[in-house]
Structure 1
């Protein structure tokens, strides 16, 4: 990997991540690397400025923070195929990030990157567009929205809990009408986030599949479903008298949805690329550690395995 143009994003409002980012920027500049650095957070989005301020291709994005910071980087950088090195500084679970222990010897990290001694994990993403009227209208009325974890359709209100009524189609065929708190359309990466909290299935991040999980449905017959990655999930808001239905991408508000709108969610034509530094990386070990499964707390001898 060449390190000529590098983005460094640090978690907004976190002094530690900013301090580490500044240290890395100084080191990379000594290697004749052009560094673009800034905060990333709910009110801070540095990526459009980063991408517009250089005519050269970006070789790498280094992100200091938690999963939310890594998700923001994936949404903005994946269309350009920019690999992301996400380091857990000030985060909580850290499903998408490398541990800070792996990053302490930064001089060695730059050497490994230049010598291509790392792995890249590609993760499927979702894209959503809003259409108006019936299916004869083929032009979306909004921009394309991207998500690495999930697209969620649910109402938002400051003063009351609203029950949503949503009709779902898969590849143009009506599957069900859901009454409840909303619907989650997720990638395998997102299956361990909001989806698992709604009792959805955990899907290996190396797969290409789409899960649809109802949030607190009023019918016990409404169950999660796993469908092929090539499917198109269409969702229509019904009986939305308060005009409160919203589309959320990775927990961030994307846009409001009106009655007569249709949300089409499908696999995106780009993938998130995460750099893996750990030589003993294991998806199942990550599940044990992050979800605190019994295997991570209680260990029994299994002599039959040997």
Structure 2
């Protein structure tokens, strides 16, 4: 990997993350690297300015924060195939990030320059809004990207609204859902909102789409897993308050009006994450982050070598 031009993004409002970013920027500049530095948060999105201001390719994005900061980086950088090194500085759960203990700045630059790292590619979703029937393929919205999930659910300032949604998969009607909404998730997102809604956990090495109802008012409404090449089409029915929204990774994408549908499919690009840990294990991450305790009585396994 070359380190001629690097983005460094820190979690907005977090002093520790900012200090780490400034330290990394100083060290990279001493190596002759041009650094683009800025905060990322609910009110700060530095990526459009960074991408518009460069004349040569960006070699790497160093993202210092939590999972939310990493998700924002993936949405903005995946289309340009910019690898992301996410480090959990100022974050909480840290499913997508490297531990700061594994980020030794005295050796990490040499490891990156010497290609002594792994790249993990994670499937993303893209969504667009269309008018009416599925035969109308011309979108009326931007293309929205998500690493975790697309979610269709209402939003209101003064009351909790029940949504009624109809879903088709590849042109076949699946069901109508009455409840709090629908989550359409990637394997990466299966351990986020989908997991909280009692959806399945899917290994991020797979390409698949999980669809999970949120608090459905029917015991027959269940989560399903479909192939990555499928197209999920969702309409909002009985929406007199015009409250239905499309959310990408928990961030508002756009509103949906009566007669419109959202088409969700596997994105044309993957998010690329740098892995520094030599002993990386997804299953160990599950045990640690979800605090799996196993049986109440712990038994020793003397048969394992």
Query: Per-residue displacement from partner, 1:176-203 (whole Å, max 9, x unpaired)?
Result: 0000000000000000000000000000
Q: Could you tell me how far apart the structure 2 residues matched to 1:259 and 1:216 are?
A: 23
Aligned twin of 1:41 = 41
In structure 1, the residue matched to 2:68 is: 68
Q: For residues 121 and 262 of structure 1, what CA distance do their matches in structure 2 show? A: 33
Equivalent positions of 1:167-186 (< 5 A) are 167-186=166-185
Aligned-CA RMSD value: 1.2
* Structure 1 spans left out of the alignment, 5+ residues: none
Q: Please state how far the C-alpha of 1:305 moved relative to its aligned partner.
A: 2.6
Give 1:298 shift: 7.4
User: Which segment is superposed worse, 226-235 or 293-302?
Assistant: 293-302
Compute the displacement of 1:49 (Å).
Answer: 0.4
- Distance in 2 (alpha carbons) for counterparts of 1:119 and 1:296: 34
Q: Tell me which residue corresponds to 2:125.
A: 126
> Structure 1-normalised TM-score?
0.98
1:234 and 2:222 correspond: no
- Please tell me whether the aligned partners of residues 242 and 257 of structure 2 are also in contact (alpha carbons under 8 angstroms): yes
Aligned pairs for 1:261-300 (under 5 A) are 261-295=260-294, 299-300=298-299
* Conserved? CA contact 2:134–2:233, under 8 Å: no
In the alignment, structure 2 segments of 5+ residues that lack a partner are: none
Is the partner of 1:190 in helix, strand or coil? Answer: helix
Q: CA deviation at 1:296?
A: 11
How far 1:295 moved relative to its partner? 4.8
Q: Which residue of 1 aligns with 2:89?
A: 89
Task: State the Cα distance separating 1:139 from its structure 2 match.
Answer: 1.0
Deviation of residue 297 (structure 1)? 9.7
| Contact 1:289/1:296 (<8 A) preserved | no
What are the superposed Cα offsets for residues 210-258 of structure 1, whole Å, 9 maximum, x if unpaired? 0000000000000000000000000000000110000000000000001
User: How many correspondences in the alignment?
Assistant: 305
Q: Identify the range of structure 1 (276-285 vs 126-135) with the bigger mean alpha-carbon deviation.
A: 126-135
Distance in 2 (CA, whole Å) between partners of 1:205 and 1:108 is: 28
> 2-side partners of 1:118 and 1:248: how far apart?
33
Per the alignment, do residues 302 and 33 of structure 1 end up closer, same or farther by CA in structure 2, a change over 3 Å counting? same
Q: Provide the TM-score with structure 2 as the length reference.
A: 0.98
Q: Residues 130, 296 of structure 1: CA spacing in aligned structure 2 closer, same or farther, 3 A cutoff?
A: farther
CA displacement 1:239-290 (0-9 Å, x = unmatched): 0011000000000000000110010000000000000000000000000000
Counterpart-to-counterpart distance in 2, 1:66 and 1:274:
14
Q: Is the 8 A contact 2:161 2:180 kept in 1?
A: yes
Equivalent in the alignment of 1:260: 259
Partner of residue 8, structure 1: 8
Report deviation, 1:133.
Answer: 2.2
* Farther-moved stretch of structure 1 (131-140 vs 105-114): 131-140
Whether contact under 8 Å (1:126, 1:187) holds in the other structure is yes
User: Is the 2:62–2:85 Cα contact (8 Å) retained in structure 1?
Assistant: yes
1:79-99, CA deviations, whole angstroms, 9 ceiling, x for partnerless residues?
000000000011110000000
Deviation at 1:102, TM superposition (A): 0.6
Pair 46,237 (structure 1): closer, same or farther in 2 beyond 3 Å: same
Distance verdict in 2 for CA 1:303–1:242, change over 3 Å? same
